Structure 1
């Protein structure tokens, strides 16, 4: 189905371990810290908003502003990274997010809190795109999927531990602004690592492992065609591979709301729902490196297709079990399958974007790519809410399942034709 990419042993061999370790101080560490900060702050944003007088709708709007700002920030982020370079963009994004965290801590009104949240979302877009572009041009191709899967795993680890850190600080201080302090501390460490951590490019260049595109444009930035021109020139590519990617992002995002809603709808207590959702999270984290190994050894489709079939099929099957006698058992089975599918998809969107981006100047293309799949993710809660309101929760679950299977078909058709594996 796809071209096989040579990649050594299936275990983490010493060469792979050394390659990944080179990116730990400047890329993986900051990524985990950004995830930890967001994981600590985002769940408590509605609580902070209500403490400033927001009603439920306003609190939800402020909490959702991070996602909207991240999506809207991808295109200008592509422009910025193409002009000032990845490391500078990451440092600037970290400083702006740090300022946003301080503003959340000190905001006296809802309007200023909303502005701080938007700033954090825009900073997240710049940081995410800059690290993606950095890895695209610095990681040798036969390590790419594993390196980007570890990047996704680092962020997931941060997002997983962030709420626990916030809960511990909240128990110690008794105030929800402890989450903002956690975010500030994490971003301060992030900025220090980005500015003072050893640049892996130096070591890769000395060992002759730096990809050609990075060697050619090491300190001199290539002339960029601009984000909009790049988007127009690659419109066919973005439409063909980008739409299945957006469907994957939609299914991923839908699981966050669908699984708890389904548990509530079949009458499960909160602690059981939390346990099942936690189990899916553990499976997702456990499989992130396996995803990279599969992509590097056998091709991108062998991770994307099983992931989409598993998640789409699980949601479609779950939609048929709501009123069955063993609905709880089917819910657990579906949640486990979704967790396995999402774990197998770890890093796939970043890897496909890196494969498709022009190697000499990836940032403008990646801005368009990330906007497209972020839009897919942002649309998922709206689809679930609209279909559930118009028909039922099982109908909404079935729609998400169908989106997943359509995305699988799209990947099957277009990935073998359009995704290059050798340069």
Structure 2
């Protein structure tokens, strides 16, 4: 009881983290969210056709996928703060490349670099939360972190629309992103250092060879007893970390990748479905926007559910709603009121996606090893990002070979299989108090 009484409340800790932990991610996400919708437009101005413009836009996701492992290596060796500062400076180089690109190839490389650096921002804060946030409200803190990225993706396009209305040049959004990055780097370098304000808990006694044990399939959860930043010991290599924890990555990690795939498919399927049933662009944008608003409104509720009732209570409803929603939507393409069903199931998918906010971050933190979590989280995020990157390829391939309805139904099936995987693997790797 005395330990509980001395523990800070969730509100106190989250409020304390706010400016320095959530502030940089909000700034980065706002700038990125403003630029993303206009990447294909600028690519087309540089001579890209529709397919090539889509390929250039995908360079952002590919860059993030490729950046996770190097980001894990960097955070493990130089710390979260310096990693974010370096990523911010490199991103400014990407901004200059996007704004001044003389050719499509240079523009694509700059977009890739932005995605590569985005991985560093996400992993640095994920690692910070894993090592320092008390377990009793870990999910709420990480759901809020996920919500900052959702905020950027939700508000950013509106900022871009306002800039276009005032300036009339798509490059204005790039310079806006550059301003956000400058503010981010200054905040990270000259603001209070959260790593020093909230040091890592002291390590519990353990055998000298504890770090050399192989992955036995047992849970590797608990507090993360790292030394303070200045006293970091030699970090375990990324590849070695992946091998040591291959079982959790190949089981619970694949379940998490299926959730990432379903999330990513939602962003692709909904606009394509609206076009396929003959809706105009304004109606499609309205439906997708409402779905996104529902998604954003629920991000903190997911953390509340996970902290109070367990991880499965958020993961299962999310996967079942999205899986069943995709399957049901796939059956409505040729019905008389297809537009109504489209709007209704888009809302269902928004609810499911909102309930899943922070789940991947929280599960990654739950199963991170007791030492050197950054390398493990780099592997975890690479796996989940790969699921998100593959999903659009599955949708486009099946739609080309068969039909969009079949592709939508297949993604629904992946969602339901992912729900079964969560039922099987979460209780094994996450302690019962968090299941």
Length-normalised TM-score, structure 1: 0.93
Aligned partner (choices 415, 426, 431) of residue 404 of structure 1? 415
Structure 1 match to 2:214: none
Number of paired residues?
A: 414
**Match status 1:35 vs 2:46:** no
* Residue 129 (structure 1) shift: 1.0
Tell me the C-alpha RMSD between the 2 structures: 2.4
Between the aligned partners of 2:113 and 2:194, the Cα distance in structure 1 is 29
Deviations 1:159-201 (A, max 9, x none): 1111111121122222111111111011111111211222334
Residue of structure 1 in register with 2:215 after alignment: none
User: Do the aligned partners of residues 206 and 216 (structure 1) sit closer, same or farther apart at CA in structure 2, a change above 3 Å counting?
Assistant: closer
For 1:194 and 1:308, locate their aligned partners in 2 and report how far apart those are by CA, in whole Å: 36
Report the equivalent of 1:11. Answer: none
Aligned to 2:240: 229
The DSSP-based 3-state class of the residue aligned with 1:216 is coil
| Counterpart selection for 1:193 from 172, 183, 187 | 187
| 1:353 counterpart = 2:364 | yes
1:214 offset after TM fit, Å?
Answer: 5.3
**Is 1:130–2:124 an aligned residue pair?**
yes
Residue of structure 2 in register with 1:220 after alignment:
231
In 2, Cα distance between the equivalents of 1:300 and 1:401? 21
Q: 2:289 aligns with which of 278, 296, 300?
A: 278
1:304 equivalenced with 2:298 (yes/no): no
Shift of 1:420: 3.5
Map Cα deviations across residues 29-70 of structure 1 (whole Å, 9 max, x no partner): 111111111111111112222222223232222111110111
2:390 & 2:169 partners in 1: Cα distance? 33
8 Å Cα contact 1:241-1:414 kept in structure 2: yes
SS of residue paired to 1:123: helix
Instruction: Please give the per-residue CA displacement for 1:331-371, whole angstroms capped at 9, x wherever unaligned.
Output: 12211111111000000000000111113210111111001
The match for 2:163 is 169
CA distance in 1, matches of 2:32, 2:316: 30
Q: Secondary structure at the match of 2:63?
A: helix
Rate the CA distance shift 1:75–1:51 in 2: closer, same or farther, 3 A: same
Residue number in structure 2 paired with 1:255: 266
Structure 1 position 125, deviation (Å): 1.2
Which of residues 335, 341, 344 is equivalent to 2:355? 344
Please list every run of 5 or more consecutive structure 1 residues that lacks an aligned counterpart in the other structure: 1-6, 9-13
Which of residues 151, 155, 158 is equivalent to 2:149?
155
Aligned to 2:73: 79
Which ranges in structure 2 are unaligned for 5 or more consecutive residues? 203-221
Using the alignment, how far apart are the partners of 2:263 and 2:182 within structure 1?
Answer: 30
Work out which of the residue numbers 88, 97, 100 in structure 2 matches 1:94.
Answer: 88
Question: For residue 300 of structure 2, what is the aligned residue in structure 1?
Answer: 289
1:222 and 1:55, CA in 2 relative to 1: closer, same or farther beyond 3 A?
A: same
Q: Which of residues 97, 106, 112 in structure 2 aligns to 1:103?
A: 97
**Matched residues in 2 for 1:420 and 1:91: separation?**
35
Aligned equivalents of 2:192 and 2:47: distance in 1? Answer: 45
Deviation at 1:15, TM superposition (A): 2.6
Report how far residue 320 of structure 1 moved: 1.2
| CA deviation map 1:283-309 (0-9, x unaligned) | 111111110011111111111111000
Q: Specify the alignment match of 1:414 in structure 2.
A: 425
2:276 is the counterpart of 1:265: yes
Which SS does the other structure have where 1:316 is aligned? helix
Mapped to 1, the partners of 2:244 and 2:143 lie a distance apart of: 28
Residues 360-375 of structure 1: matches in 2 within 5 Å? 360-375=371-386
Asked if the contact 2:33/2:156 (under 8 Å) is kept, the reply is: yes
